[in-house]
Amino acid sequence: MSSDNDRDLPAVSREASGLEPDAVIHLYKLEHPSLNGKPLYFTPDANIESGSALPIMFGGNKYIPLPSIISGLSRSTDDTSKPTLRISNINNAIGIFLDDNDDLIGGEIVYIKTYAKFLNTAAEIGQTPQRFVIEKKEEHNAQFIEFSLSSALALPNAILPAGQYFKDHCRRKYVNHLGVRPDDDEYVCPYASDSDFFDENDVRTDRSKDKCSKTIRGCVARFGESVPLPTWATPGTGSPR
């Protein structure tokens, strides 16, 4: 069954190949469990009126102005694209979500490219959406945050009835660095230590830099090799074919 975007591709293609195409608009949707089912819609191409940036309406959704850029997109139709997404972090706009939400790892980014003439309509007239999964936070400072992405088709995972499982990424929330004991919430990693801390590269460190890599290696560093690991990574899963 074709989507609205597929049916509207001819209009987008005609606009792109025209002698004077309209302004290109880049749109992003971020989905993550921490957002409680309310995706974050944002765009670097906000309307400018009276010197103020205003949201863009597309397909019935409001995209807030947020400087951002995606790079490294593949022109091919395979699933090997490994782009990066850089988002402005001025006023801690995105950083506020990261610390308590595993750096948004595993979240989905939907990227749509369209043209200004197709805004403010009920239909989503744009190129076929490209879907990516946030694989790693590469850089985090006061100016911007940069994520590495993987094609939703290429990431080593399996969609199972209970949710999305990753080959080498544990979905449990890590709280040992906070100096609190894990509660009975099964989503929280049970690791608790007042003396043994490891950084995101699984190198021994102090509490201030304690951060789990969410890999099997990170689990082994904390629990050892001789006990069953409480990781929620699923090494047996693989890329769908």
Q: In this structure, are strands 56-58 and 24-31 parallel, antiparallel, or unpaired?
A: unpaired
Number of domains in the chain: 2
Exposed/middle/buried for residue 95 (C-beta within 10 Å: 0-12, 13-18, 19+):
middle
Tell me, yes or no, whether 58 and 130 share the same domain.
yes
Tell me, yes or no, whether 186 and 240 share the same domain.
yes
Q: What is the CA radius of gyration of the chain?
A: 20
Q: What are the residues whose beta carbons fall under 8 Å from the beta carbon of 237, sequence distance 6 or more?
A: 156, 157, 158, 165, 166, 167
> What range defines the domain where residue 115 resides?
4-154
Q: Select the more confidently predicted residue: 150 or 13.
A: 150
- Mean predicted confidence (pLDDT) in 217-234: 83
Q: DSSP E strands: which ranges in the chain?
A: 24-31, 40-43, 47-49, 52-54, 56-58, 61-65, 68-71, 84-88, 108-115, 130-140, 144-151, 157-160, 163-166, 197-198, 204-205
Residue 55, pLDDT above cutoff 80: yes
Give the confidence band of 41 by pLDDT, cuts at 50, 70, 90.
very high
Structural domain ending residue among the three candidates 101, 135, 154? 154
By the 8 A CB rule, do 174 and 198 touch?
Answer: no
Tell me, yes or no, whether 12 and 107 share the same domain.
yes
Tell me, yes or no, whether 177 and 99 share the same domain.
no
> What's 14's DSSP letter?
H
Exposed/middle/buried for residue 80 (C-beta within 10 Å: 0-12, 13-18, 19+):
exposed
In whole angstroms, what is the distance from residue 124 CA to residue 41 CA?
14
Residue 210 token pair: 């304690």
Give the confidence band of 4 by pLDDT, cuts at 50, 70, 90.
very low
Structural domain ending residue among the three candidates 112, 136, 154? 154
DSSP bridge pairs for 158: 165
Tell me, yes or no, whether 119 and 163 share the same domain.
no
Tell me, yes or no, whether 149 and 217 share the same domain.
no
Tell me, yes or no, whether 65 and 147 share the same domain.
yes
Tell me, yes or no, whether 162 and 228 share the same domain.
yes
Model confidence pLDDT, tens digit, residues 154-213? 554 444 334 455 556 777 788 888 777 666 666 788 888 888 999 888 899 998 888 888
Structural domain ending residue among the three candidates 119, 134, 154? 154
Tell me, yes or no, whether 11 and 62 share the same domain.
yes
- Mean predicted confidence (pLDDT) in 145-149: 93
Placement of tokens 């195409």 in the chain: 21
Tell me, yes or no, whether 70 and 189 share the same domain.
no
pLDDT score of 172: 79
Side chain identity at 135, as an amino acid letter?
E
Tell me, yes or no, whether 132 and 194 share the same domain.
no
pLDDT score of 17: 55
Tell me, yes or no, whether 105 and 181 share the same domain.
no
